[in-house]
Structure 1
Amino acid sequence: MSDGQLAQGNFELSIVSDILIVDDTADNIRLLSSMLLEQGYKVRKAINGTMALTAIRTLPPDLLLLDINMPQMDGYEVCRQLKQDPQLRDIPVIFLSALDSTVDKVKAFAVGGIDYLTKPFHIEELVARIESQLTIARQRQLLQQQKQQLELEIQERRKVEAELKWQRERSETLILNIFPQKIAERLKSGHQTIASYFDEVTVLFADLVGFTTLAVQIPPTDLVQFLNQIFSRFDALVEQYQLEKIKTIGDAYMVVGGLPQHRDDHAQAIAQMALAMQTTIQELKTPLGQPLSLRIGINSGPVVAGVIGTKKFSYDLWGDTVNVASRLESQGEPGRIQISEQTHGLLHHQFHCEERGVICLKGRGELKTYWLLG
């Protein structure tokens, strides 16, 4: 026989088949071996069932030619044990026997035989049956390999899809940590410049008192960890009062109420945030054990809010309302919350305030301000 070939689409498999002959009669083994070698097969031999199982487990053959009547262990038992082993059960078994009753044949198929040929037989018929079973076995092996490959590809595709999903979700989370949801949606839809006018919001600026001196006294990494501890608590307050954090600059913290979603109580929410920030800062100390204090400035009025530029986007506010809030913070006092007359008018006596009087704001002139006390 020439090399056995299996064509599946454009795939071809060419091998020399390894056949194990199991028979307790030496003449039968010699005859079968000579015939099969002439046909181009590799041939191995075993003269009893025990030797056959040892040979199979040592090096599994492509096909087994198995006699039935053998001492110690007959062919049925050899086949039964072979089919019980998950690693060996797919080896095709052709029974070659002088037994020709229907009962013997049925029993051979019952224990796992794939074919049955009665002695004496024609070599042409035996070769045809061998080739048929080898072809089926190779097709089964090929299908199994293709199935395994497909399963691997599916697993890999699922991993890639899961990774892409995770990356998309992570990107969404990062974007929403930087921008309000409505702004993020407009950015993703391809808007180049995003700016919206809001006729009434409340802006808060907060600044750590003595931060410059502290920065000289402790290592930069400790300083960053310290700021992160403080600002993380402030971020939690932003979530609690449903406000919008705009940015941090050094030790300064900026929050706004009333955008991008309008709310009537923006001044009240910012006032609650400011009071909670003062309470929070009193609970903390510097890495050197020193007490902390905040200056806070609050102003209400119109602003323009949006995203400009083409790189390193950030959501920001512009307008006189923002500038005044910043000046109220910088010209305030440690541990106190200074609010503008506009903000004071929006609080509707719901908060306890104390008039500070008229102060001169840099670049803005004289303004009447108040202290928010509680």
Structure 2
Amino acid sequence: MNQNYSKTFSGKILIVDDSMNNLILLERILLRKGYKVEVAASGKQAIETIELTKPDLILLDIMMPGMDGYEVCSHLKANERTRGIPIIFLSALAEVKDKLRAFNVGGVDYITKPFESVEVVARVENQLRLHELELQLREKNLMYRREIAYREQAEIETRLLLETTKFQKEQIEELLLNILPKPIADRLQEGQSIIADSFSDVSVLFADLVGFTNFASHQTAAETVKILNLIFSQFDQLSIQHGLEKIKTIGDAYMVVGGLPELKENHAEAIAQMAIDMQAAVASFNVQNNQNFSLRIGINIGAVVAGVIGLTKFSYDLWGDTVNVAHRMESNGIPGEIQVTTMVYERLKEQFLFTMRGPLEIKGKGQMIVYLLVGPISQLTVDS
């Protein structure tokens, strides 16, 4: 070991020997080299000293009364706290079997008595250097394991954050899709704050479940919601089947539109067919559940404005005269019938059969010619 090494790692050495002369000689040699030295005259005293002050290196005599060097070494190597302390054996025993036993019980080196001071110093410096390197390696390994653990934890937290963010995003998307058409939900998520569009040609349908209010007055809240949900769920499926957009429900009223937010060329035909299917669905429900509901439907075609309103609770809705008239067609209609405007009649008269109901006084519009939709001409022809 060079001088710089001695300064940076002086080391604390325990000398264990029952010979006072050997203790004094070894202590003098090592103190001159700048080491801190402790001495013990027996194996028992050595163990007691090590319990109080943990040395960096032990010079251990073999032939001692009571507890010999082999026993002391075995005791220290069996203890987790002292297992890593390097031990150099000192002995007058020079046979190979003695040295092998010393190494087998855990010794790192062996100095034969009588010893030379130069050899002692060289072997001590070598073992202290190795011991220091081992400690540094352990520290680096510990730091490395901590770094790996930190990175793994950071990766886990990052992955968890990403998964949580993804889940939250999916939840938001799912929630938006439950209340808004997908193209509108996409625009909101892209950051568009104001959504308002004009559509020149759409079909608007209003339907009212006649008789449900009286039915609900005699039912529990749970039963009322259950029945309404069964019927409106069928309407929802029909809107998907015909490529239409459900706008909202208000009590026992249902509103659906065709031709927005994405354009649909045959929206009028689709909404007329959905109206017919809605009537059939209610009739089937009545038979299966022993009820007597009827559906009053109104349809109109024309221009509307559509947009999203609300800051925290979004709602996609329609405005305009076309919407108002469609609602009047329903409210002034006949239970079990589909009442439509002249606009609808003119658009669909080649594909569907209508009967004129006659002019009606419509609030805000005056006298209007209205029609009742009977069904598709092709289907009626086949049935006849």
TM-score by length of 2: 0.68
SS of match in other structure, 2:352: coil
Summarize the Cα distance change of 1:36–1:242 in structure 2 as closer, same or farther, 3 Å threshold: same
Summarize the Cα distance change of 1:134–1:285 in structure 2 as closer, same or farther, 3 Å threshold: farther
Answer yes or no: is the 8 Å Cα contact 1:205–1:252 preserved in 2: yes
Task: After TM superposition, list the pairs within 5 Å mapping 1:251-290 onto structure 2.
Answer: 251-285=252-286, 289-290=290-291
Summarize the Cα distance change of 1:304–1:99 in structure 2 as closer, same or farther, 3 Å threshold: same
1:63 aligns with 2:84: yes
Offset at residue 299 of structure 1 (A): 0.8
Q: Distance in 1 between matches of 2:255 and 2:347?
A: 20
The percentage of aligned residue pairs carrying the same residue is 40
Task: After TM superposition, list the pairs within 5 Å mapping 1:246-325 onto structure 2.
Answer: 246-285=247-286, 289-308=290-309, 310-325=311-326
Name the Cα RMSD after superposition: 4.1
Summarize the Cα distance change of 1:69–1:264 in structure 2 as closer, same or farther, 3 Å threshold: farther
Answer yes or no: is the 8 Å Cα contact 1:258–1:266 preserved in 2: yes
Task: After TM superposition, list the pairs within 5 Å mapping 1:141-180 onto structure 2.
Answer: 141-180=142-181
* Rg larger for: 2
Answer yes or no: is the 8 Å Cα contact 2:212–2:293 preserved in 1: no
More helix by proportion, 1 or 2? Answer: 2
1:220 aligns with 2:212: no
Offset at residue 159 of structure 1 (A): 0.5
Which AA in structure 1 matches 2:169? R
Q: Deviations over 1:137-176 (max 9, x none)?
A: 1221221122112101211110011100111122122223
Answer yes or no: is the 8 Å Cα contact 1:201–1:267 preserved in 2: yes
The worse-fitting range, judged by mean Cα deviation, of 357-366 and 270-279 is 357-366
Answer yes or no: is the 8 Å Cα contact 1:241–1:269 preserved in 2: yes
Summarize the Cα distance change of 1:281–1:121 in structure 2 as closer, same or farther, 3 Å threshold: farther
| Count of aligned residue pairs for this structure pair | 315
Offset at residue 359 of structure 1 (A): 2.2
- Tell me the residue number matched to 1:47: 71
Q: Distance in 2 between matches of 1:48 and 1:282?
A: 98
Offset at residue 125 of structure 1 (A): 3.7
Which AA in structure 2 matches 1:96? V
SS of match in other structure, 2:184: helix
Q: Distance in 2 between matches of 1:247 and 1:265?
A: 22
1:96 aligns with 2:117: no
Which AA in structure 2 matches 1:358? P
Q: Distance in 1 between matches of 2:340 and 2:183?
A: 29
TM-score by length of 1: 0.70
Offset at residue 227 of structure 1 (A): 2.1
SS of match in other structure, 1:217: coil
Answer yes or no: is the 8 Å Cα contact 1:339–1:370 preserved in 2: yes
1:361 aligns with 2:375: no
Summarize the Cα distance change of 1:173–1:124 in structure 2 as closer, same or farther, 3 Å threshold: same
Answer yes or no: is the 8 Å Cα contact 2:206–2:297 preserved in 1: yes
Answer yes or no: is the 8 Å Cα contact 1:62–1:134 preserved in 2: no
Summarize the Cα distance change of 1:39–1:126 in structure 2 as closer, same or farther, 3 Å threshold: farther
- Tell me the residue number matched to 2:37: none
Which AA in structure 1 matches 2:228? L
Q: Deviations over 1:181-202 (max 9, x none)?
A: 3433443455454322211111
Answer yes or no: is the 8 Å Cα contact 2:246–2:256 preserved in 1: yes
Q: Distance in 1 between matches of 2:70 and 2:293?
A: 91
- Tell me the residue number matched to 1:243: 244
> Any stretches of 5+ residues in structure 1 without a counterpart?
1-16, 18-26, 79-93, 101-117
Summarize the Cα distance change of 1:142–1:267 in structure 2 as closer, same or farther, 3 Å threshold: same
Which AA in structure 1 matches 2:158? R
Task: After TM superposition, list the pairs within 5 Å mapping 1:181-196 onto structure 2.
Answer: 181-196=182-197
The worse-fitting range, judged by mean Cα deviation, of 350-359 and 44-53 is 44-53
Q: Distance in 2 between matches of 1:373 and 1:46?
A: 110
Which AA in structure 2 matches 1:360? E
Q: Distance in 2 between matches of 1:322 and 1:41?
A: 93
Task: After TM superposition, list the pairs within 5 Å mapping 1:79-158 onto structure 2.
Answer: 95-98=107-110, 122-158=123-159
Summarize the Cα distance change of 1:286–1:351 in structure 2 as closer, same or farther, 3 Å threshold: closer
SS of match in other structure, 2:358: strand
Summarize the Cα distance change of 1:285–1:152 in structure 2 as closer, same or farther, 3 Å threshold: farther
Q: Distance in 1 between matches of 2:249 and 2:269?
A: 22
Answer yes or no: is the 8 Å Cα contact 1:245–1:256 preserved in 2: yes
Which AA in structure 2 matches 1:142? M
Offset at residue 203 of structure 1 (A): 0.3
- Tell me the residue number matched to 1:330: 331
Answer yes or no: is the 8 Å Cα contact 2:298–2:327 preserved in 1: yes
Answer yes or no: is the 8 Å Cα contact 1:226–1:286 preserved in 2: no
Q: Deviations over 1:316-357 (max 9, x none)?
A: 111111111111112222222112221121114212333322
> Any stretches of 5+ residues in structure 2 without a counterpart?
1-11, 13-40, 59-68, 90-95, 113-118, 376-384
SS of match in other structure, 1:177: helix
Q: Distance in 2 between matches of 1:126 and 1:37?
A: 21
Answer yes or no: is the 8 Å Cα contact 2:76–2:82 preserved in 1: no
- Tell me the residue number matched to 2:3: none
Answer yes or no: is the 8 Å Cα contact 2:56–2:131 preserved in 1: no
Offset at residue 240 of structure 1 (A): 1.5
